[in-house]
Amino acid sequence: MKTYMEEYKNKLITADQAAKMCKSNVIVDYGMFATKPVDFDIALAKRAGDGLENVAIRGTGTVLPVPDVIFKDREQKTFQYFSWYFTAIDRKAGDFGLVAHNPFNYHEATILAYSTDEFAHLKPQIWCAQVAPMDGQGCFNFGLGNSHNRGLALNSKIAIVEVNENMPRCLGGNDEYVHISEIDYIIEGSNTPIFALPPMPEPTSEERKIAEYIVEDIVDGACIQLGIGAMPNLIGNMIAESDLKDLGIQSEMFCDAFVKMYEAGKVTNAKKAYDINKSTYSFCLGTKDTYDFLHDNPRCASACVLHTNDPARIAMHDNVIAINNILEVDLLSQVCSESFGLRQISGTGGQLDFVIGAFHSRGGKGFLAFSSTYKDKEGNIISRIKPMLTPGAAVTVPRTQVQYLVTEYGKVNLKALSTWGRAEALINLAHPDFRDELLKSAKEMKIWSRTNKIPF
């Protein structure tokens, strides 16, 4: 059998050598989430100010360690950092003007990465991502960040893998690897620990009530998508403790609660339209235990994000249940899930993908969940249901696409409701202390009738 060690040795370089290949006025793509390169980033940041100019670095969901190219070139004389999806690191850097957001719907990432014509201007000169060690067939597995890594690797001018022995090997699926013949260089990294989330905080009473409203709508054989955050994980944990059975998983993110669902015997994937007997996902952010669960697990399938998030593909499954968090909604039922005013908090990600896909699934339901209020820095109670979105807030889910909204005060299906019906439904979901004020605003906005108790 052919071995690839000679080719491996010929392509082996140091991180500093790789960084020297970067030129001015180019795009450098980092791997997604936990596949972000570490050693290459450190080496590249050392080149700040040495004649390099206008180097665009693109990341997705930046995690620790903080990229050196951001904070070691604060004047941005050499590097400008862009993120497809904001995390806490991106938010903080964005507060200082050091990171800009690239808005998009997540399923489009694969299309953009593979495009060689219309979006040729987006092709990176250099792509570099952390990968698992090469296997006997000469393949480097993308581990916890399949997403759109393969498309970027194949369409970059220079493709570099940074090997980390700690990266789990996440089986496919599709697009879960790049072959040694498809890359240009190999960095043997310093094997830094793979970023892992701490355990989720204990849920609040409001979150538990919201979760109860959603779980009661899940049926045997449903196909589950869970988004990022404490609420989706809580719902997954409640599913694990329920009497539900034969559940399937198709989710852009594989979260910790899915492991508990497996351990409780709730997941079989037997009722899915495709990827039968496998849980399909595109990336994972979770605890070390979750990463260990995914390593070499044939019951799970790592796939490119077009495969997991294309609304038409999602809709092929019956009874899709999509569960995601939002930040605020206005009385017109426009949903913002990604910014507080002009401050970018996260991104559209796959939320709209799954809202649309779940609605078109036979028996499917797309839930957007949120506690009705939050506390600001001064301790004031603020309603998440507002007459109009905060100025500058991005519309993540247009009102025409919103299906179910859920707070601790109930849930409502907004599909086909009039502007009057939507306003009434939203006011009923609000905290009682804010309902009179919202009703007054609805009247001023002419979306309230004196007989506004009819369902449409």
Q: Which of 145, 160, 188 is the last residue of a domain?
A: 188
Q: Give the domain-ending residue among 161, 188, 215.
A: 188
Could you give phi then psi for residue 369, rounded to 5 degrees? Answer: -110, 145
Specify the amino acid at residue 292. Answer: D
* 228 and 299 fall within a common domain: yes
Alpha carbon separation from 351 to 252, 288, 363 (Å, rounded)? 10, 25, 19
What average pLDDT score do residues 160-179 get?
A: 98
Which tens digits make up the pLDDT trace of 25-51?
A: 999 999 999 999 999 999 999 999 888
What pLDDT sits at residue 1? 58
Is the pLDDT at 365 greater than 60, yes or no? yes
Q: What is the mean pLDDT of residues 245-274?
A: 97
Backbone angles phi, psi at 48, to 5 degrees: -60, 125
Arithmetic mean of pLDDT, 168-193: 97
252 is catalytic: yes
* Residue entry with tokens 């994000």: 305
Q: Is residue 193 part of a domain?
A: no
pLDDT score of 127 more than 90? yes
**Same domain, yes or no: 279 and 324:** yes
**pLDDT of residue 453 exceeding 80:** no
Per-residue confidence at 117, pLDDT binned at 50, 70, 90?
A: confident
What CATH number should be reported for the domain holding residue 440?
3.40.1080.20
- Model confidence at 456, pLDDT cuts 50, 70, 90, reads very low
Average pLDDT, the chain: 95
pLDDT > 70: what percent of the chain?
A: 99
For residue 238, tell me if it sits in a domain.
Answer: yes
Omega into 173 within 30° of 0, i.e. cis? yes
Whole-model pTM: value is 0.96
The 10s digit of each residue's pLDDT in 131-152 is: 999 999 999 999 999 999 999 9
Q: Which of 108, 162, 207, 252 is catalytic?
A: 252
Whether the CA torsion 20, 24, 27, 30 is positive or negative: it is: positive
CA distances (Å), origin 145, targets 35, 73, 317: 6, 26, 24
> How does residue 169 score in pLDDT terms, banded at 50, 70 and 90?
very high
Q: Give mean pLDDT, residues 78-88.
A: 97
Q: Residue 454: its pLDDT value, please?
A: 46
For the purposes of burial, counting CB atoms within 10 Å of the CB of 433, is it exposed (0-12), middle (13-18) or buried (19 or more)?
exposed
Tell me which of 10-14, 78-82, 201-205, 243-247 is least confident: 201-205
Confidence of residue 228 (pLDDT cuts 50, 70, 90): confident
Q: Are residues 266 and 167 in the same domain?
A: no
Claim to verify: residue 110 and residue 256 sit in the same structural domain: no
Residue 345 lies in a domain: yes
pLDDT of residue 159: 98
308 and 344 fall within a common domain: yes
Q: What is the mean pLDDT of residues 165-189?
A: 98
* H or E stretch at 443: helix 432-444
129 and 245, same domain (yes or no): no
Q: Average of pLDDT values for 385-392? A: 98
3-state secondary structure 262-291: HHCCCECCCCCCCCCCCEEEEEECCCHHHH
Please report whether residue 12 resides in a domain: yes
Let me know if residue 97 belongs to a domain.
yes
Indicate if 143 and 263 belong to the same structural domain: no
SS3 152: helix
Residue 75, pLDDT above cutoff 90: yes
For the chain, give the longest Cα–Cα distance: 80
Q: Is the pLDDT of residue 246 over 70?
A: yes
Same domain, 106 and 218: no
Instruction: Map residue 383 onto helix, strand or coil.
Output: strand
Q: How many domains does the chain divide into?
A: 2
Q: How many CB atoms sit inside 10 A of residue 88's CB?
A: 12
Give yes or no: residues 304 and 342 share one domain. Answer: yes
The domain boundary, picked from 188, 221, 247, lies at 188
Let me know whether 11 and 109 are in one domain.
yes
User: For residue 394, what is the DSSP state?
Assistant: -
The predicted structure's pLDDT at residue 450: 74
CATH number at residue 38: 3.40.1080.10
Number of helical H runs and strand E runs in the chain: 16, 25
Task: Tell which residue, 433, 397, 436, 431, has the closest CA to residue 206.
Answer: 431
Same domain, 329 and 428: yes
Is 139:178 a contact under the CB 8 Å cutoff?
yes
Distance of CA 80 to the CA centre of its chain: 22
Distance CA 167, CA 159 (A): 19
**CB half-sphere exposure, 394, CA atoms < 13 A:** 18
- Whether residue 196 is contained in a domain is answered as no
**pLDDT tier at 230, thresholds 50, 70, 90:** confident
In a domain, 456, yes or no: no
Do residues 279 and 413 both lie within one domain?
yes
Residue 256 to residues 31, 201, 371, Cα–Cα distance (Å): 22, 13, 22
- Rounded Cα distance between 285 and 147, Å, is 12
pLDDT band at 122 (very low <50, low <70, confident <90, very high): confident
The answer to the question of residue 200 being in a domain is no
pLDDT band at 200 (very low <50, low <70, confident <90, very high): confident
Query: Which range of residues forms the domain containing residue 36?
Result: 5-188
Let me know: does 39 contact 190? Beta carbons within 8 Å: yes
